Amino acid sequence: MYIGIDLGTSGVKVILLNEQGEVVAAQTEKLTVSPPASTLVGTRPGTVVAGN
């Protein structure tokens, strides 16, 4: 099995492939973005890990 993870600024995409390259599972989740300052944007790591 192989797993691919794309952690972007607005969401997380995960895909699970078997040895033949076939998709076993895929999931996309949007992330809540919280601006710590007027010119910066960040995501809380705990939110990413929890999947919220």
What is the pLDDT confidence band of residue 51, given thresholds at 50, 70 and 90? low
Q: Cα(9)–Cα(12) distance, rounded to whole angstroms?
A: 8
When pLDDT is averaged across residues 23-30 and rounded to a whole number, the result is 95
| pLDDT recorded at residue 37 | 62
| CB neighbourhood size of 44 (10 A) | 14
Task: With residue 35 as reference, give the H or E element that holds it.
Answer: strand 34-37
| pLDDT recorded at residue 19 | 96
CB environment 3-17: b (16+ within 10 A), e (fewer): eeeeeeeeebeeeee
| CB neighbourhood size of 42 (10 A) | 11
